[in-house]
Chain A
Amino acid sequence: MLFDIRRILGGLFAVYGVILVVVGLLDGAEEIAKAEGVRINLWTGIGMLVLAAIFLVWERLRPKDVPDPSDDASGDA
């Protein structure tokens, strides 16, 4: 099969997350006022980092999505 899409998703959202968190911390009063008083960049950035972590951990825990037939024989019983 092809390369693992989870790594790409994890990587892209990790980069986006870091950018948005930094921008969110630097946001001035004007940006915050525009977003109804919410540091929306910061919160979206944190959300993206969590998503990135989920994809990367999932890929680490189950490297191939296709389960190895040999270690599933016991699980089916």
Chain B
Amino acid sequence: MLALAPQDLRLDVNALDYLILALYFAVVVGIGFAARRAIRSSSDFFLAGRALPAWITGLAFVSANLGAIEILGMAANGAQYGLMTVHYYWIGAIPAMVFLGIVMMPFYYRSKVHSVPEFLRRRFNPATQLFNAIAFAVAQVLIAGINLYALALVMEALLGWPLWLSVIVSAAIVLAYITLGGLSSAIYNEVMQFFVIIAGLVPVVVLGLIRVGGFEGLGQKVRESVLGDGALHTWSNTATTDNPLGANWIGIVFGLGFVLSFGYWTTNFAEVQRGLSARNTNAARLTPIVAAYPKLLIPVVTVIPGLIALVLFSNLGKDGGPEYNYAIPLLMNEFLPNGVLGVAVTGLLASFMAGMAANISGFNTVFTYDIWKGHVNGEKSDEFYVRLGRIATIGGVVAGIGTAFIAAGFSNIMNYLQALFAFFNAPLFATFIIGLFWKRMTPWAGFWGIIAGTLAAFAVYIPYRAGILDLGTDLNASFVAAGAAFLVDAVISVVITLVTTPKPEEELRGLVYGLTDVDLKDDSIAGDKAWYRSPVILGSGALVLAAAFYLPFL
């Protein structure tokens, strides 16, 4: 085992690695300029012209979530909690993504809304839209700031760049390609980033496995490590909280699998927006389902490197040793020669930026449509809103730089993100699910449900943070906060519905299950009937695989 001092994080990059990095960002900015020429209307800028096939929107969907915080954070969780980290993928992400594709996407796409808050306005009322739009806009700027700060920290540690330089350079690149090309630029770059980050991580995993003696050797060494045998199982000892994650099966299935994940994947506009840019309803439905297949395999390049780092570096995550978040950079340093090293660094940097770009492109749409057009001035020309979207992009990036330092106080960045999602997405999911299936649910029930649910999440999480409420680990606290938000939202929604007036059915056509909009034309194209383009068949396939993947690691 190797003991490492913090300065060992510095990567030995040379001109070749910088060439690979520079080539990538030249292409990124080039895509921005090329995309600019295709922008003629607000639909081109904010929805990529609604012209993309499912494989592009699907890869962008998975990539928008595959920011470097996610990659480094999940490797950190792998080193800290072992294989239970795969719950985030197999019971967390996959069922929620399939549900989004099969059940919810038709409502989003066919109602022709630009954003999730706009859907809330149509189903409920403008107050609900405004509350959600502001909460979302604030959250996106905060998360963009976290991305930026994390990027700067990693670049300082790995390449020795001063903090301010990384912040300015990467913010400038994101700003350039989103301002120029809007959502198409963001999506094309996400697809490219997906392949580059995978190309950078696969060599790390392969060489790491060779070092530790393959999967068998890794299992052996993890058993002998501080985590012990528990790190090789996913469901054993979940009747109690006596497992590495410190959560029981109820917390995992309902807290993580149901409330947190469904909330995040089905109502988070930064994700849903990728589906809205698809060329027709079928492609929109396939977007999260196409994304589910790569998502199933992402643990191979996150959780496994985390475990490899755990057994190779004796002081990982200990006092005086490197943080868990540096598991992957440590392995890059250990194994990769110049060349592939440049690819891996490029992948990391690209995924930081893609994460931030997803936040910013969600932010500019919601700001323009839901805050400005919806509540300040909705009477302007189409060109005005494209220009406003570009200004909002600049404002969002600047605000992201400004808020970057809020993330500084938290040891494990993932937990902070989870906390934010619990506050904004978990109650939203309750409102959506009731609103979609119960046509009686009233506009004000939508509004007060979300407010009450959000407050409930704060009411659990803040006392936990302050040390008044003991919930074990940070992760378990976020499961509980999300669960509370969901339940309170549901109860308040039902109570308010019973004492207020529902919308007439006519206004709810196409927005509620069972009330179809007869005026909508079937937009399917030839070939959509094939089994390999069926959301139900492909979605079921993803669920079966997720269940099957658990079998060797029960």
Interface residues of A (CB under 8 A from B): 1-3, 5, 8-9, 12-13, 15-16, 19-20, 23-24, 27, 31-32, 34-38, 40-41, 43-44, 47-48, 51, 65-67, 69, 72-73, 75-76
B433 at the interface (CB under 8 A from A): no
B308 at the interface (CB under 8 A from A): no
Contact of A12 among B27, B52, B211, B526 (CB under 8 A): B27
Measured between C-beta atoms, what is the minimum distance from B509 to chain A in Å?
Answer: 29
Tell me whether B336 and A40 are in contact (CB under 8 A).
yes
B250 at the interface (CB under 8 A from A): no
Query: Contacts of B335 on A, CB cut-off 8 Å?
Result: 34-36, 40
Query: Contacts of A38 on B, CB cut-off 8 Å?
Result: 206-207, 210
Task: Take A16-B343, A31-B337, A65-B53 as given contacts and tell me if A40 and B527 are in contact as well, using a CB distance cutoff of 8 Å.
Answer: no
Q: What residue in chain B is nearest A48 (Cβ atoms)?
A: B199
Tell me whether B38 and A47 are in contact (CB under 8 A).
no
B300 at the interface (CB under 8 A from A): no
Question: Which 9 residue pairs are nearest across A and B when measured between Cβ atoms?
Answer: A72-B526, A31-B337, A23-B339, A41-B339, A65-B53, A36-B210, A1-B51, A2-B38, A36-B207
Cα distance A19–B24 when bound, in Å? 13
Tell me whether A20 and B53 are in contact (CB under 8 A).
no
Q: What residue in chain B is nearest A15 (Cβ atoms)?
A: B23
Contact of A35 among B48, B199, B336 (CB under 8 A): B336
B338 at the interface (CB under 8 A from A): yes
B537 at the interface (CB under 8 A from A): no
Query: Contacts of A3 on B, CB cut-off 8 Å?
Result: 34, 38
Cα distance A15–B207 when bound, in Å? 24
Task: Take A5-B191, A9-B195, A36-B207 as given contacts and tell me if A20 and B343 are in contact as well, using a CB distance cutoff of 8 Å.
Answer: yes
Tell me whether A27 and B343 are in contact (CB under 8 A).
no
Query: Contacts of B49 on A, CB cut-off 8 Å?
Result: 1-2
> Can you list 15 A-B pairs with a CB-CB distance of less than 8 A?
A2-B48, A2-B188, A19-B16, A19-B339, A34-B335, A35-B207, A35-B336, A36-B210, A36-B335, A38-B207, A38-B210, A41-B337, A47-B202, A65-B53, A66-B279
Q: What residue in chain B is nearest A41 (Cβ atoms)?
A: B339
Query: Contacts of A20 on B, CB cut-off 8 Å?
Result: 339-340, 343
Measured between C-beta atoms, what is the minimum distance from B57 to chain A in Å?
Answer: 11
Cα distance A5–B31 when bound, in Å? 9
Q: Which residues of B from 392 to 437 have beta carbons under 8 Å from A?
A: none
